[in-house]
Structure 1
Amino acid sequence: MRWTRHLAVATLALSVTACTTSPTGRQQLTLMSDAQLNEMGREAYSQYQQELPPASQAEQRYVQCVADAIVAALPERERHQDWQIRAFESEQANAFALPGGYMGVNTGLLDIAENQDQLASVIGHEIGHVLASHANERVSTQTSTQLALSVLSSASGLQGPGGEQLMSALGLGAQYGILLPFSRRHESEADVIGLQLMADAGFDPRASIALWENMSAQSGGQPPAWMSTHPSHGQRMEGLQARMDEAMGRYEQAQQAGRRPSCPRP
């Protein structure tokens, strides 16, 4: 059919012009430039700073200490990025990292992360999102999905109530079959990268399991994993445990190299 050819050509064009590889070797679709993403990250970070008050100086020093130890262990190119991290006063247990190296940790998360190693698990995970260009991939996937649906709608003549109903169903299929799984894949990949980063910096990677045990105890019911943007707590712990032997080897090498962070918890 003619519309299938249009769809194939559009998809192929995007794939050929914007195919990259993540730190774990996974193929990615990345349509945006670093400059565009960094500007978006800067604007989002500025807005976050306006909406939430800063944490105490002691909490800021603690978060900065852990982040500095992880950044110091990054490869040279990533290490020299202008990483900026702030602690924010908020009960919501949340942390984030944005393109451009902007990071934030809410004080609510410090109540769940009981020590520097557990906090390092969170910060390593967030830095992993940046290193893997997940923001670029997520925006690119949404853009290409919308383009494909638009081409399908116009080329196949799907107008009227019946056509609208079919396009709505296709939209749901894209949401649950493409966009959400991509997000879950990103979370799992950031877990793996973060586990490696914290171990390379000299933080005990076993604390990542303890962190998610704390998260699980603090949270209420979760939606089914297939309807969530994140894997379940159990899935995350299983994924981390599967990589633990490798992480422990990296941790022991870091310890032998003298990487022994000491970040007092306030």
Structure 2
Amino acid sequence: MKRLALPALTVLLLAACATSPLGRQQFLLLPAAEMDQMGVQAYSEMKQEQPTVSGTKEARYVQCVANAITAVVDSDQQWEVTVFKDDSANAFALPGGKIGVHTGLLKVAKNQDQLAAVIGHEVGHVIAQHSNERMSIQYATQTGTQLVAALAGGDSAEKQTLMGLLGVGAQYGVQLPFSRKHEAEADVVGLQLMAEAGFNPEQSVDLWRNMAAAGGSAPPELLSTHPSNETRIQGLQARLPEVRPIYQQARAAGRTPNCG
């Protein structure tokens, strides 16, 4: 049995090997279609359970920014955008083309470029399949199959964990933040997306300065999986010379979003 299991495991590991948009090796066990299905189902539940905002000026504003970002994503994916009435400065994107923005974010993202930085970052998580990476590691353990099945059931600890792995755990009382490497990667992908869409990438730095000012006494970086605001700002500043030409080309090509 052991002789049979080893080749099977090797095939599984080889099939799970993938590469992120920035060239990093990834371990992805779950089919993209299954991840999309989970993202769509989780999003649907959130819209049923949490208050949303539609038909307002702010909802149209968020939709406009999100449309500009997703228009430059190299995919045929159709994206859905929902504004959730929530005072926290937060946003998320899920596999299956789902984007959520909290109304509280609009108090910190002061203009369309700063909002584009956040949405680009969250879409970057989806493009880089970060949720799949986290799910795949969990799936490789005994609890993986239980988690996938839990989404269809009622409220449970397993379902809360699954929502956390997808990236929306804060709403369900389970904080499972993306790792530092995932956050840094999403920052870079998001920066590229916003520049290609015609949003000023310089504003990503101002956004995180706003976040730092709004965050109060954040925990030390070594005690968190998230990079500190200062580290994040430095990382973004280091990438600005790469994306400025992309931004200039986008503007010259007529990509000049005016979302108000």
Q: CA deviation at 1:221?
A: 2.2
2: CA distance, partners of 1:249 / 1:258: 14
SS in structure 2 of the partner of residue 139 of structure 1 = helix
Q: What letter matches 1:70 in structure 2?
A: I
Q: What letter matches 1:36 in structure 2?
A: E
> For structure 2, which runs of at least 5 residues remain unmatched after alignment?
143-175
Give the alignment of 1:95-244 within 5 angstroms.
95-144=91-140, 146=141, 183-244=179-240
CA contact (8 A) 2:178 2:226 kept: no
The yes-or-no answer on 1:24 pairing with 2:22 is yes
Which residue number in structure 2 is paired with residue 47 of structure 1? 45
CA contact (8 A) 2:36 2:95 kept: yes
1: CA distance, partners of 2:80 / 2:177: 29
Which residue number in structure 2 is paired with residue 34 of structure 1? 32
The yes-or-no answer on 1:94 pairing with 2:93 is no
SS in structure 1 of the partner of residue 81 of structure 2 = strand
Number of aligned positions between the proteins:
225
User: Highest relative contact order (Cα 8 Å, sep 6+), 1 or 2?
Assistant: 1
Larger Rg: 1
Which residue number in structure 1 is paired with residue 65 of structure 2? 66
Once the two structures are superposed, residues 103-128 of structure 1 have per-residue CA deviations (whole angstroms, 9 ceiling, x without a partner) of 10000000000000000000100111
Identity of aligned residues (%): 56
Q: CA deviation at 1:143?
A: 3.1
Once the two structures are superposed, residues 171-223 of structure 1 have per-residue CA deviations (whole angstroms, 9 ceiling, x without a partner) of xxxxxxxxx89721111100000000000000000000000000000012222
1:248 corresponds to which of 235, 244, 248: 244
In the superposition, relative to structure 1, how do residues 89 and 68 fare at CA in structure 2: closer, same or farther (>3 Å)? same
Q: What letter matches 1:205 in structure 2?
A: P
TM-score by length of 1: 0.78
Q: CA deviation at 1:31?
A: 0.3
Q: What letter matches 2:111 in structure 1?
A: N
SS in structure 2 of the partner of residue 243 of structure 1 = helix
> For structure 1, which runs of at least 5 residues remain unmatched after alignment?
148-179
SS in structure 1 of the partner of residue 52 of structure 2 = coil
TM-score by length of 2: 0.80
SS in structure 2 of the partner of residue 199 of structure 1 = helix
Which runs of 4 or more aligned residues in structure 1 lie more than 3 Å from their structure 2 counterparts after TM superposition? 8-14
1: CA distance, partners of 2:100 / 2:206: 21
Which deviates more, 213-222 or 199-208? Answer: 213-222
